[in-house]
């Protein structure tokens, strides 16, 4: 599995680099700060990311006791505790782009831009460009390809298909 996990970690690093760059570019328009959990929810992720995070958490000694026991509803992320992410170093890609302007193609094949409702309140959306937005499609494609290779090799062990998604809360059952 290590080959696939290392490919995943490479994308994770690239995501962090772009996200950091965008945070600097848009610093005056971002309200993101420690303690804000508006973007946090029980995201569903691809198996290669799921198992890579699981390995990360186990190697860091993360225990099920660390989990948020009382979720307000089914949508809550089990890793959120007192408004803080308890797996910050291992959090999935989607969480690494929280707050950034995300550029992607929607189901109708049209470009769409997504931002947090707290950010870019006084920003002219005409000023968004390929250079100052996060290229969501590019990263989704890379991740999908890594996941496809992972599933092709471990289909029998995981019993999962390449289009299947796993909710973060399932990680809690495996810790």
Alpha helices in the chain (DSSP H): 2-25, 47-59, 93-96, 136-158, 169-174
CB 101 within 8 A of CB 128: yes
95 lines the binding site for ligand SF4 (CB under 6 A): yes
- Indicate the residue among 117 and 125 with the shorter CB distance to ligand SF4: 117
Smallest distance, ligand SF4 to C-beta of residue 138, A: 21
Does the protein bind ligand SF4 through residue 62 (CB under 6 A)?
no
Q: How many residues bind ligand SF4 (CB under 6 A)?
A: 10
Which residue lies nearer to ligand SF4 by CB, 12 or 91? 91
- Closest distance between ligand SF4 and the C-beta of residue 44, in Å? 11
Nearest 10 degrees: Cα torsion 136, 161, 85, 31: 20
Q: Is 175 in the site for ligand SF4 (CB under 6 A)?
A: no
**What is the chain's alpha carbon radius of gyration, rounded to the nearest angstrom?**
17
With tokens 């690239």, the residue in question is 14
Contacts with ligand SF4 by CB under 6 A lie at 40-41, 43, 77, 79-80, 85, 87, 91, 95
């Amino acid at each position: 599995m290590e080959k696939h996990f290392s490919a995943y970690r490479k994308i994770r690093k690239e995501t962090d680099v772009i996200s950091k760059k965008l945070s600097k570019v848009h610093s005056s328009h971002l309200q993101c700060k420690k303690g804000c959990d508006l973007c946090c929810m029980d995201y569903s992720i691809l198996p290669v990311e799921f198992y890579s995070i699981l390995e990360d958490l186990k190697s860091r000694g993360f225990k099920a006791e660390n989990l948020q026991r009382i979720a307000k509803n089914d949508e809550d992320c089990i890793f959120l505790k007192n408004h803080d992410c308890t797996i910050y170093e291992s959090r999935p890609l989607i969480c690494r782009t929280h707050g950034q302007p995300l550029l992607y193609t929607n189901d109708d094949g049209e470009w769409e831009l997504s931002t947090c409702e707290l950010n870019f309140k006084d920003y002219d959306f005409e000023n968004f460009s390929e250079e100052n937005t996060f290229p969501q499609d590019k990263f989704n494609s890379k991740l999908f390809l890594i996941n496809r290779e992972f599933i092709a090799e471990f289909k029998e062990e995981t019993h999962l298909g390449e289009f299947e998604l796993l909710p973060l809360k399932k990680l809690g059952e495996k810790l």
